[in-house]
Structure 1
Amino acid sequence: MKTVCLFSDGSCLNNPGAGGWAYILEYKGAVKKASGAQADTTNNQMELRAVIEGLRALKEPCNVLLYTDSSYVANAINSWLSGWSKKNFKNVKNVPLWQEYIAVAAPHNISATWVKAHAGHPQNEECDTMARAMAESIKESR
């Protein structure tokens, strides 16, 4: 099974408000990047959307090393999600997104690592720039 690195970030202006997400996938020197926007959203939703879209871009089951500056996303993936699922997501926010995550994550082995935001991590900084640009673009278009 291939091991890929997935870097992701979400951005939201006036949380909630205009949001953007971005990811970078890296595998043996190959790089794939994508980003998108949503008009009415939250930062946590965009952080999670970035991960979902990055996983959706994978063409086969992989070992995924996920790097995110969202402790919400990293902790949920590494610790909380199985308990949430057992309790039928009682008192959990963003349930449809977490269910979407579970579906796209199913073929993969995922390990999430939290990275400090705005601390010079090159891929995290690039994802932040991409996500913020998408949030700004949708804000301007409204």
Structure 2
Amino acid sequence: MSEQQAHQLIIYTDGSSRGNPGPGGYGIVLLWGNQRKEISAGYRLTTNNRMELLGVIVALESLTKKNIAVTIYTDSQYIVNSVEKKWLDNWIRTDFKGGKKNKDLWLRYKAIAQHFKVRFHWVKGHADNPWNNRCDELATEAADGNNLLIDVEFENLKI
């Protein structure tokens, strides 16, 4: 690990769902120097994209120090492209017209991300990145677990 990497926050996230929709979960690994923290949770009915996005949100919401540089690695092109290509800015400007999904989570992401200097990097999923693979394990274990949480916004849309 380079000197620069040792003094910045690195976050890996992944989301999973068993069926789309179906039971799902997210997994997070936060790395700061030699410190590591893992976070995961499972939901009884959700989608893969919601879990990918919720993983990023929960990771940022777990941080106590604001205005720091954060590099997030994800295998979700949906997230990377939505933020890095400024699709999200347009969705917000047009109030998510045209059936854009996950408005609740994107607005939650935007609210928390403004407190950090966030950069996204896409990594190939299910490949040779050990941290992405660990996030996948956490996400799938959470999706397969007991006492699954309720993705209230998603389930309310289904009614």
2:42 maps to which residue?
37
Counterpart-to-counterpart distance in 1, 2:96 and 2:138: 31
Name stretches of at least 5 consecutive residues in structure 2 with no aligned partner.
1-6, 149-159
Q: TM-score, normalised by structure 2?
A: 0.83
Counterpart-to-counterpart distance in 2, 1:108 and 1:84: 21
In the TM superposition, residue 52 of structure 1 has moved relative to its aligned partner by: 0.5
Counterpart-to-counterpart distance in 1, 2:17 and 2:45: 9
> Residues 27-82 of structure 1: CA distance to partner in whole angstroms, max 9, x if unpaired?
11111110001111000000001000100111112211010000001111211111
Question: Judging changes above 3 Å, is the alpha-carbon distance between structure 1 residues 60 and 109 closer, same or farther for their aligned structure 2 residues?
Answer: same
1:9 equivalent in alignment to 2:14: yes
SS of structure 2 residue aligned to 1:137: coil
Q: TM-score, normalised by structure 1?
A: 0.93
SS of structure 2 residue aligned to 1:5: strand
Name stretches of at least 5 consecutive residues in structure 1 with no aligned partner.
none
1:127 equivalent in alignment to 2:135: yes
The aligned length equals: 139
1:82 equivalent in alignment to 2:89: yes
In the TM superposition, residue 138 of structure 1 has moved relative to its aligned partner by: 4.1
In the TM superposition, residue 5 of structure 1 has moved relative to its aligned partner by: 0.6
Question: Judging changes above 3 Å, is the alpha-carbon distance between structure 1 residues 138 and 45 closer, same or farther for their aligned structure 2 residues?
Answer: farther
Which one has a bigger Cα radius of gyration? 2
RMSD, matched Cα = 1.5
Counterpart-to-counterpart distance in 2, 1:138 and 1:94: 25
SS of structure 2 residue aligned to 1:14: coil
Q: List, as ranges, runs of 4+ consecutive aligned residues in structure 1 with deviation greater than 6 Å.
A: none
The residue identity in structure 2 corresponding to 1:113 is: H
Q: Is the CA contact 1:39–1:138 (under 8 Å) kept in the aligned structure 2?
A: no
When you count strand as a share of all residues, which structure comes out higher?
1
1:58 maps to which residue?
63
1:20 maps to which residue?
25
Q: Is the CA contact 1:64–1:110 (under 8 Å) kept in the aligned structure 2?
A: yes
